[in-house]
Amino acid sequence: MLIAKHKIGNHRKGFGILEVMIASMILVTVVGAVVAMGSASVRGGLTASDKTTAYNLAQECLEKARSVRDGNWVDQNIPTATEWNTNLTTANLSMLSECKTTSVGTPQVEYTRGVVVTNVPWFDPTSGDPPQYGVPLQDIPEDMVQQITVTVSWLGENSNQSLTGSTYLTDWKMIN
Per-residue pLDDT at 34: 93
User: In this predicted model, what pLDDT tens digit does every residue of 110-133 receive, in sequence order?
Assistant: 898 988 888 877 665 565 555 555
- What pTM value is reported for the model? 0.67
In a domain, 63, yes or no: yes
In a domain, 92, yes or no: yes
- CB-based contacts of 54, cutoff 8 Å, min separation 6: 111, 152, 154, 161, 162, 163
Question: Quick one: average pLDDT of 129-157?
Answer: 71
Does residue 62 contact residue 148 with C-beta atoms inside 8 Å?
A: yes
Name residue 151's amino acid: T
User: In this predicted model, what pLDDT tens digit does every residue of 55-111 receive, in sequence order?
Assistant: 999 999 899 888 888 877 665 555 444 577 777 888 888 888 888 888 877 677 889
The residue range of the domain holding 34 is 17-175
In a domain, 89, yes or no: yes
In a domain, 1, yes or no: no
In a domain, 168, yes or no: yes
Domains: count for the chain? 1
What's the CA gap between 141 and 119, in Å, rounded?
11
In a domain, 8, yes or no: no
Q: Which residue has the higher pLDDT, 11 or 154?
A: 154
In a domain, 131, yes or no: yes
Per-residue pLDDT at 89: 80
In a domain, 12, yes or no: no
Element (H, E) at 51: helix 17-75
Per-residue pLDDT at 155: 87
User: In this predicted model, what pLDDT tens digit does every residue of 29-57 receive, in sequence order?
Assistant: 999 999 999 988 888 888 888 889 899 99
Per-residue pLDDT at 151: 93
Does residue 111 contact residue 153 with C-beta atoms inside 8 Å?
A: yes
Does residue 121 contact residue 143 with C-beta atoms inside 8 Å?
A: no
Q: Which residue has the higher pLDDT, 131 or 19?
A: 19
Per-residue pLDDT at 78: 53
